[in-house]
Chain A
Amino acid sequence: QSDRLIIKGGKIVNDDQSFYADVYVEDGIIKQIGENLIVPGGVKTIDAYGHIVIPGGIDVNTCLHMPYLGMTPADDFYHGTKAALAGGTTMIIDHVLPEPGSSLLAAYDQWRDIADKKSCCDYSLHMDITHWHEGHIEELEALVKDKGVNSFLVFMAYKDMYQCSDSQIYEILSILRDLGAIAQVHAENGDIIQEEQKRLLDLGITGPEGHVLSHPEEVETEAVYRVLTIAKQANCPLYITKVMSKTSADVIAQARRKGMVVYGEPITASLGTDGSHYWSKNWVKAAAFVMSPPVNPDPSTPDYLNSLLSCGDLQVTGSAHCTFTTAQKAVGKDNFTLIPEGTNGIEERMSVVWEKSVATGKMDENEFVAVTSTNAAKIFNLYPRKGRIAVGSDADIVIWNTKETKIISAKSHNLTVECNIFEGMECHGAPVVVISQGKIVLEAEKLSVTEGSGRFIPRKTFPDYVYKRIKARNRLADIRGVPRGLYDGPVHDVTTATKAVAPTPTSRGSACPGKAQMVPVRNLHQSGFTLSGNQMDDHIPRRTAQRIVAPPGGRSNITSLS
């Protein structure tokens, strides 16, 4: 296969504009764009007349090696990336899920090892923080600085396994903000879920419908709201993985309107299907839909999420692809809490978004490129190497046929699992040619991938797209104390100081920094500043209804109370 390619006659679609031009690719990089290009001989020509040429998709959320009870997903890095390429996705970002308590770096090395051997397309890695303690700070730094990981996922669900408390999340977000990394959250209230699971099992509900009943939409929304509050306090950008319900998407949209730096990631499943199948009489089918947060039973959800995706309230799409065979899912045949969680979607993602958003007129082709590829590249600091067709970018290109119709079916998909949650869905729009790293991997419905050809793409910290605003806010957010005279009035004796004090060691331990403040305060006091008399803030009109009859200054001397 030639290393030199020229794509002729297609309409190049980036996230900002579309134009007609030829693309010349050499050594896996786009070398020239324009008309009447002068190219050397021996160049393979690809005819793209009538099609659009788009940057290859980036799937920001896959779990191709997620361990569960000693099992790994049926689609590993080879099958997963192969399916990705077949669907027009040329890069994935996989989640590293370390065993709670074990080393993050060790898990990273393990994932790198497997992915380097098996992956057919470029990949990058998110790190999941499954267990938090102070010792992880150094590992985080090492990952960020030496290993090319700039995004970390924290869990608000999976109680007693991965779940972090609110203070832990606050700490982690503060550290990630200082490191310039992206904080991702799996947002669900694990405490409530656990209680609900117990209740449902007690009621004798053991099938997959118990999964969705124990993970109600409110629980997802609550966690999104909570983590947004925490992120606001920590002044940390936030990325919500797997937005599955209307209300949680609404909360994100509202937060963005209030100026928060937050990104929401709906996934193929939430954009393409709904959770009514949990009640299917066919256990296998119902179990195939089991994932967390669950696919929403409200059938209007996909449409709604596609609308928010189109208007920019949600920005990126992933697949959360994590498939288990029916036999693996059957581990939970008598207890829905044991069903391995995960749905397919890596292959269908681009087509589903096209079908639901572009074909219906919600978004145009440029926005399609933005939500499937460019925004992801920007958030995770891959832009413009990925996510754009420009000179110098990686030659990850998809020629997209907007007229082709494809029916998704487990019979024809490139996955190893027996069920496809989008079974029977008709999609208008499909890739005809997929070029990854400058090589044609899909042409004329024939997939030719090479196991192990995928490279790890390291990512730098402080992505501009995310951190520009945060940096500006950090400069502004300077809190100052009020300089006051020393209080010299009577102080009530405190007998039992040991108990019943709200904030505990942390606050008292840091009493020492207070001393730093003492010096200027004392100076102020000595320099003739008095507490009595008119107050500094008295001239500020506060309440319209307030008419000060006796100036409060007369009574406000704290040492001479009447």
Chain B
Amino acid sequence: MAERKRTWDKEDDLPVYLARPGTTDQVPRQKYGGMFCNVEGAYESKTIDFDALSVGQRSARSPKSIQDGSQDGRSTDSEPGSICTDKGTGGHEEGHSGIDIKTTGGKEILQNLDELKSDRLLIKGGRIVNDDQSFYADIYMEDGLIKQIGDNLIVPGGVKIIEANGKMVIPGGIDIHTHFQMPYRGTTTVDDFSQGTKAALAGGTTMIVDHVIPDPGASLIEAFERWREWADDKACCDYSLHVDITHWSDSAKQEVETLVKEKGVNSFLVYMAYKDLFQMTNSELYDIFTFLGELGAVVQVHAENGEIIAQEQARMLEMGITGPEGHVLSRPEELEAEAVFRAITIASQTNCPLYVTKVMSKSAADIISQARKKGNVVFGEPISASLGTDGTHYWSKNWAKAASFVTSPPLSPDPTTPDYLNSLLASGDLNVTGSSHCTFSTAQKAIGKDDFTQIPEGVNGVEERMAIIWDKAVVTGKMDENMFVAVTSTNAAKILNLYPRKGRIAVGSDSDLVIWDCDAVRTITAKTHNSAAEYNVFEGMELRGAPLVVICQGKIVLEDGNLHATSGTGRFIPCTPFPDFAYKRVKARKQLAVLRAVPRGMYDGPVSDFTPMSRGGTPAASARTSPTKQSVPVRNLHQSGFSLAGNPAQRGEPICLFIHSHVHAAVLRS
């Protein structure tokens, strides 16, 4: 970040033809035609006023944006709220020359207009950051939609104006993996949809995608409806749902089809772990992948080898290891990598896009990036916990602390893992981030106090997700702000097929926006977080970057650290199948991958006697019947003069004949 800011200053000195309006990034790729594109309508729905962005006017804005970072960062200090801003960290701003603050702070304006209860919002002077480019423009919102983007917008009266003062305006985060209000053995996670989405909003996430976990054998649709009910009652932000396939049968198949076609679910999770509970066999995985591939849904996997885990757990308990360290010892990262490898193999066989949830270890991430290099359509989702912390705490003497880290796959004890995963996220080998937020109170975790296999699994992370990635990846220079938007929001929206409604700041998109303060510093602690859990796995971490204002469905829900979220305002966002992001390539490959049999004459030589396969064996019924379909063309070929023998005179000695043809083939090849 710091580097980028410095370039803004320099930009003023650049010649007119070099200085670019609105952005200091490299020239963004023009998606709809280049600079000289004169195709009619090429700039439709992009109401950027190019004149306003011209070189001459830009210089007036940029210095303003630099100084205000510090101003707003400080101003939030006084507010008692969820964001604790560290006063002592002026260090980041030292790089800027001391310019006086000229503009009025954003918050006064906000507060003045707050009484109007207007649905109309105008964000002035923000730097809009999408996944492809950044530029300065104002945003006008009405009825929860972005209506206009550009400079000098003509807006009606009674508009609440937010002065962004050059701060980043990004699409609200999408947390693609949460478990709010998840039932577990008669209890539920402490963060319900209300608490959880509040925490999400506080962290700059304006949409969550929760997992529906039906009991094995129970109806998927019923479970889905139950989750809908819970979420509709309580959610404070928009949400969507994944459905976990916990058992596989014909009825489940039908239900999946209904969910895709009528209920707006386009992603399903299958488990390779949790033996005797959720785990699927390889054949079932193959079947599910094939089925979902045809429906155009995204297949997600929880990738861990459940069989070996069960064995290892038994071994650990036998050795007398009952504490949380047994959890990580019984789930070594190799088992995660193995399952990822297997899932990718099956997906590649079935030509189905794959989404690996919870990438927790280096080796699993490596497998994914290797597979991507080979051309497999696979997406990896690291979570807040794997990006922000490591698994050394499983050996903590404090049982409750150690237990709070228990999640599956476990956090890798290798302390270099977070850094590595952030690098892969920055390079695009991993694509999206979730939080897998699933919190239990210490009392709930204590169900497993004498046996680590009974500890309810899950860590927090919905609130911290955006800030962790900003701190670990953007501040360290691994990724730029555009990539940040891509991994926290845009890619998720693309996979869910919600793009560009979500995940982009564009005319017509939902007005889920975050004004991001790059310089705010806050310390994560369970004392101040918005989750109901007593422990925070990121306890004590100092993170740079925090949301300053969060706008969800066109309403300001966070300002000055005050959260104004209303339970039940969240809408269910239905997802449609065949997301382009995942399926375009798969469709093309389907057209190519047509298998053809080799037309051969009928074999009419001797056949040995054999005892038919009595038990098991290879596919029996279908195998024997299907060849009849093929027999007609084969016979035709045979009749049309093609013969095995080549020279009928030598029919008596088939051995020689075959050799004959073989030699010919060899000669031809060589």
Would you call A490 an interface residue if the criterion is a C-beta within 8 Å of the partner chain's C-beta atoms?
Answer: yes
Query: B396–A209 contact, CB under 8 A?
Result: no
Interface residues of A in 264-278 (CB under 8 A from B): 277
Query: B446–A283 contact, CB under 8 A?
Result: no
Interface residues of B in 612-670 (CB under 8 A from A): 612-613, 615-619, 622-624, 626-627, 629-630, 644, 654-656, 658-659, 661-663, 665-667
Query: A210–B597 contact, CB under 8 A?
Result: yes
Return chain A residues, CB-CB under 8 Å to B610: 68-71, 328, 331
Give the contact-size bracket for chain B.
35 or more
Query: A501–B542 contact, CB under 8 A?
Result: no
**B611: nearest residue on chain A (CB-CB)?**
A70
Query: A69–B390 contact, CB under 8 A?
Result: no
Binds B, one of A13-21, A461-469, A534-542: A534-542
Give the complex CA separation of A503 and B605 in angstroms. Answer: 56
Query: A410–B661 contact, CB under 8 A?
Result: no
Contact with B along A526-554 (1 / 0, CB 8 A): 00000100011100101101111110100
Query: B595–A206 contact, CB under 8 A?
Result: no
Task: Kindly identify which residue among B317, B444, B597 contacts A205, using a CB–CB cutoff of 8 Å.
Answer: B597
Would you call A36 an interface residue if the criterion is a C-beta within 8 Å of the partner chain's C-beta atoms?
Answer: no
Given A191-B286, A552-B539, A233 contacting B332 (CB threshold 8 A): yes
Query: A70–B609 contact, CB under 8 A?
Result: yes
Return chain A residues, CB-CB under 8 Å to B335: 229, 233
Return chain B residues, CB-CB under 8 Å to A484: 323, 397-399
**A502: nearest residue on chain B (CB-CB)?**
B274
Give the complex CA separation of A499 and B613 in angstroms. Answer: 39
Give the complex CA separation of A192 and B442 in angstroms. Answer: 42
Give the complex CA separation of A479 and B320 in angstroms. Answer: 10
Return chain B residues, CB-CB under 8 Å to A161: 615-617
Return chain B residues, CB-CB under 8 Å to A411: 656, 659
Query: A282–B275 contact, CB under 8 A?
Result: no
Q: Quote the shortest CB–CB distance from A159 to chain B (angstroms).
A: 7
Q: Quote the shortest CB–CB distance from A220 to chain B (angstroms).
A: 10
Return chain A residues, CB-CB under 8 Å to B401: 535, 552, 556, 558
Task: Kindly identify which residue among A189, A283, A335, A487 contacts B623, using a CB–CB cutoff of 8 Å.
Answer: A335
Query: A496–B313 contact, CB under 8 A?
Result: no
Would you call A171 an interface residue if the criterion is a C-beta within 8 Å of the partner chain's C-beta atoms?
Answer: yes
Return chain B residues, CB-CB under 8 Å to A507: 310, 313-314, 317, 451, 453
Contact with B along A406-427 (1 / 0, CB 8 A): 0001110000001100011100
Binds A, one of B72-80, B142-150, B162-170, B183-191: B183-191
Interface residues of B in 423-441 (CB under 8 A from A): 441
Query: A479–B308 contact, CB under 8 A?
Result: no
Task: Kindly identify which residue among A325, A493, A517, A537 contacts B322, using a CB–CB cutoff of 8 Å.
Answer: A517
Given A71-B608, A491-B446, A546 contacting B540 (CB threshold 8 A): yes
**A198: nearest residue on chain B (CB-CB)?**
B619
Would you call A141 an interface residue if the criterion is a C-beta within 8 Å of the partner chain's C-beta atoms?
Answer: no
Central interface residue in B320, B523, B612, B644, by most chain A CB within 10 Å: B320
Q: Quote the shortest CB–CB distance from B169 to chain A (angstroms).
A: 26
Query: B600–A283 contact, CB under 8 A?
Result: yes
Task: Kindly identify which residue among A70, A171, A192 contacts B286, using a CB–CB cutoff of 8 Å.
Answer: A192
Task: Kindly identify which residue among B389, B400, B622 contacts A487, using a CB–CB cutoff of 8 Å.
Answer: B400
Interface residues of A in 169-227 (CB under 8 A from B): 170-171, 189, 191-192, 194-198, 200-207, 209-210, 213, 216, 218-219, 221-222, 225-226
Query: B607–A333 contact, CB under 8 A?
Result: yes
Give the complex CA separation of A194 and B346 in angstroms. Answer: 12
Give the complex CA separation of A229 and B622 in angstroms. Answer: 34
Query: B658–A418 contact, CB under 8 A?
Result: yes
Given A210-B597, A282-B661, A500 contacting B323 (CB threshold 8 A): no
7 inter-chain pairs at a CB distance below 8 angstroms, sorted by A residue, are A171-B311, A195-B286, A218-B349, A328-B610, A338-B618, A514-B317, A549-B542
